[in-house]
Amino acid sequence: MSEKAGVTSYDVARRAGVSQSAVSRAFRKGASVAPATRARIVEAAMALGYEPNAIAQGLITKRSNLVAIIISNLTNLYYPEVLAELTQRLSLHGVRVLLFSLAAESDVEEVLGQVWRYRVDGAIVAARLSTEQLVAFSNRGVPLVLYNRVGEGVPVASVCCDSDLGERALVDGLVQAGHTCFGIIGGPADSYVGEERANAAINRLAHHGIKAEFVRGQFDYESGGAGLKTLMELTDSKLDALICVNDLMAIGAMDTARNIIGKRVPSELSITGFDGVSPATWEAYQLTTIRQPVRRMTQAAVAMLLERIESPDISPEQRLFAGELLSGRSARLL
Amino acid sequence: MSEKAGVTSYDVARRAGVSQSAVSRAFRKGASVAPATRARIVEAAMALGYEPNAIAQGLITKRSNLVAIIISNLTNLYYPEVLAELTQRLSLHGVRVLLFSLAAESDVEEVLGQVWRYRVDGAIVAARLSTEQLVAFSNRGVPLVLYNRVGEGVPVASVCCDSDLGERALVDGLVQAGHTCFGIIGGPADSYVGEERANAAINRLAHHGIKAEFVRGQFDYESGGAGLKTLMELTDSKLDALICVNDLMAIGAMDTARNIIGKRVPSELSITGFDGVSPATWEAYQLTTIRQPVRRMTQAAVAMLLERIESPDISPEQRLFAGELLSGRSARLL
DNA sequence: AACGGAAATGACTTCGAATGCAAAGACCAA
DNA sequence: TTGGTCTTTGCATTCGAAGTCATTTCCGTT
């Protein structure tokens, strides 16, 4: 078994005394090969350390068995879990992952060029795509599933965690528990989930006749503390309910509230997050948040994508998953 | 610009009134094409939305421009950062990432089969490889760089963060600050870094004539708390210095110490970690730890790999980076 | 006008596996 | 033995771009 580079089906064929076609057939199930022949071929292949060249297979079959995964910022703490899940699930189906991680959202265009070049069978995207970019996918016939985003102006298959339901649960709980002065820390203006969640919270508060102060953050730890400080100023320190559109900012805010500002959480200030990342459940935080059902969502995304790879004409579908309210100890909820 | 699937160089050639060869040349720098011709070709290519088929290129040139990245558990909190860095750096060099994330270490063998099939130009691996597996890389002529691991029995290019230096700094600091009862929480027995760091700590303590209690964890938050409890029992609650081989366990231990056991950190119990993940710097923890120089390490890994892809015969090299001591507030150090 | 050398271009082959098609065997029945 | 059916097998072609080599074109010289 002296595995060497560049062993081809011809090498195997020669050693087994058959034609190259036979070798090819021996490796695809359902092909017409005599059992004895197949055995000889497999033996020869093992002896030579032969592995079919996926590149050549891809060229002839027009199936690369590659799926592109495009994620804007992997350091988000939430995405690694998603990525790991997606990768492993796709693996089970014999599909390989071509990973594109963006330093800046604006890199998408360049990345797409590479996606086309590699003739991927499909793509799962957790980054903002313009309408033209969405159209490009459909023109090129590359099945696409958006993760936690929906197509703007164009119907596209997508998997999302319901922002409205989630924020509604949080807002309602906070309102009913008697909070009166609300603040919201949103995401950057160009983030889809950020806007969705912030708007969901704002709308639900409006439904209760409450107007909240609003500031933007960058989804990171520091933004939480900074946002909280700003909101305290804006509200003359009357703030008693802080809604953050992700957990990381909520955690940052908690730390700042306790250690810098000196507000008790949750007795003086309730703080909520969104995502359900693992630090949210740590003893020190016990964050009240909405946990995204990552396993079900990734499972759905993979299933939808594979379906569309098999049958390219399946119509777009949006799957909205309800998050689970995680009642921690960072907020007084009713 | 009605980009469609399956535009080939022949299509472009026809539209530009040239041969396929000309199109090919127009897209590679340094080739002999008249400026005017190239212009016509580029225009035609744009009009058709042509992108060279990387699969076909890979087949003929025997360069896939793909690099495999194999990471055992992405949920480790430390690896996402590494992965993002690696991906982006490789991108800059026109190299694409084929990601393999392992659910269990034992999946490596199966994954390697796929690595061979895709004829990757090289691989960066942060997972345990057996000697046979290491040899397989060299037999197949696939350049390999190990990340935070070294080849066992076989010389292999690798990039590591120095465990000895790091643990020595921590141990010396703790000893000099007067700690007397030491406990160590290691990693699973099959983890390379886990064993390295634990041994480094044990050895350095021995050098000071101190013997520490030792328990194993799984690198996760829960293991920290559980490990601490066990160590408290083993030491009749006399434990006053806890060395964890990664930050996550240290964080878990801190939370348990403060909130469950009721020990003050660091006045009654000093806790140290390793890695320098972002939560370690959070207000609530301010962990005393060794920060791995991720940027320099990934930078080195990429550089080493690319070098070896260009010149396959470069001899193996180990690059050991010293970590930076992050003096937080979780340990009394001198 | 004729020639030489360089630049530009195209025809053809190549990479490695898959597959349509035809030929060759295998097997059974009459 | 012959014919017919079904299974195996090999030949030849294909996928799309790169690159070799031969040819053509272009330009400057004399």
CATH of the domain at A260: 3.40.50.2300
Quick one: B71 and B134 in the same domain?
Answer: yes
pLDDT of residue B172: 97
Query: Residue B29 is part of a domain; what is its CATH number?
Result: 1.10.260.40
The whole-number Å distance from A60's CA to D14's C1' is 7
Chain B residues inside the 8 Å CB shell of A249: none
Quick one: B224 and B75 in the same domain?
Answer: no
As a whole number, mean pLDDT of residues B93-113 equals 90
Segment 26-85 of chain B within 8 Å of chain A by CB: 49, 51-56, 58-59, 64, 66, 69, 73-75, 77, 79-81, 83-84
* B25 nearest nucleotide via C1' and CA: D18
Quick one: B178 and B283 in the same domain?
Answer: yes
Q: Which two tokens stand for residue B79?
A: 């690896």
Q: Do A96 and B118 touch (CB under 8 A)?
A: yes
Quick one: A150 and A265 in the same domain?
Answer: no
- Indicate the DSSP class of residue B278: G
Testing the interface with B: which of A51, A248, A260, A286 to mutate, by most B Cβ within 10 A?
A51
Quick one: B47 and B101 in the same domain?
Answer: no
Task: Give the domain range for residue A106.
Answer: 61-161+295-322
pLDDT of residue B203: 97
Q: Give the bases of strand D that a protein CB approaches within 7 Å.
A: 7-12, 14-20
Rounded CA-CA distance A273/A288 in Å is 6
DSSP H or E run through A233? helix A221-234
* B61 nearest nucleotide via C1' and CA: D18
**Residue type at position A180:** T
Digit-coded pLDDT (tens) for B82-102: 999 999 999 999 999 999 998
Quick one: A108 and A140 in the same domain?
Answer: yes
Work out if B37's Cβ lies within 7 angstroms of strand C: yes
Task: Note down pLDDT in tens along chain A; length 334 residues.
Answer: 456 778 999 999 999 999 999 999 999 877 788 888 999 999 999 999 999 999 999 999 999 999 999 998 777 888 899 999 999 999 999 999 999 998 877 789 989 999 999 999 999 999 989 999 999 999 999 999 999 999 988 999 999 999 999 999 999 999 999 999 999 999 999 888 999 999 999 999 999 999 999 999 999 999 999 999 999 999 999 999 999 999 999 999 999 999 999 999 999 999 999 999 999 999 999 999 999 999 999 999 999 999 999 999 999 999 999 999 999 999 999 8
Measuring alpha carbon to C1', the residue closest to nucleotide D9 is A22
Domain assignment of residue A1, yes or no: no
Domain assignment of residue A331, yes or no: no
Among A97, A103, A142, the residue with its CB nearest the CB of B98 is A97
Indicate the number of domains in chain A. 3
Asked if A304 contacts A159 with a C-beta cutoff of 8 angstroms, the reply is yes
Rounded CA-CA distance A244/A265 in Å is 14
Quick one: B201 and B274 in the same domain?
Answer: yes
Domain assignment of residue B59, yes or no: no
Q: Do B282 and A117 touch (CB under 8 A)?
A: no
Measuring alpha carbon to C1', the residue closest to nucleotide D6 is A32
Rounded CA-CA distance A149/B110 in Å is 33
Peptide bond into A266 cis (omega under 30): yes
Which chain B residue has the Cα nearest residue A68? B98
Work out if A75's Cβ lies within 7 angstroms of strand C: no
Burial state string for A2-14 with b = 16 or more CB within 10 A and e = fewer than 16: ebeeebebebbbe
Residue recorded with tokens 């102006």: A153
Asked if A68 contacts B64 with a C-beta cutoff of 8 angstroms, the reply is no
| Residues at the strand D interface (Cβ < 7 Å) | A 17-22, 25, 32-37, 56, 59-60, 62; B 6, 8-10, 20-21, 24, 27-28, 50, 52-53, 56-57, 59-61
Q: Which two tokens stand for residue A76?
A: 């988000």
Quick one: B96 and B203 in the same domain?
Answer: no
Domain assignment of residue A334, yes or no: no
pLDDT of residue A2: 55
Quick one: B39 and B148 in the same domain?
Answer: no
Quick one: B18 and B114 in the same domain?
Answer: no
Quick one: A189 and A271 in the same domain?
Answer: yes
pLDDT at B1 over 50: no
pLDDT at B2 over 60: no
Asked if A329 contacts A266 with a C-beta cutoff of 8 angstroms, the reply is yes
Domain assignment of residue A193, yes or no: yes
Measuring alpha carbon to C1', the residue closest to nucleotide C6 is B32
Domain assignment of residue B143, yes or no: yes
Cα–Cα nearest to A187, from A230, A246, A138: A246
Domain assignment of residue A2, yes or no: no
Domain assignment of residue B331, yes or no: no
Quick one: A108 and A227 in the same domain?
Answer: no
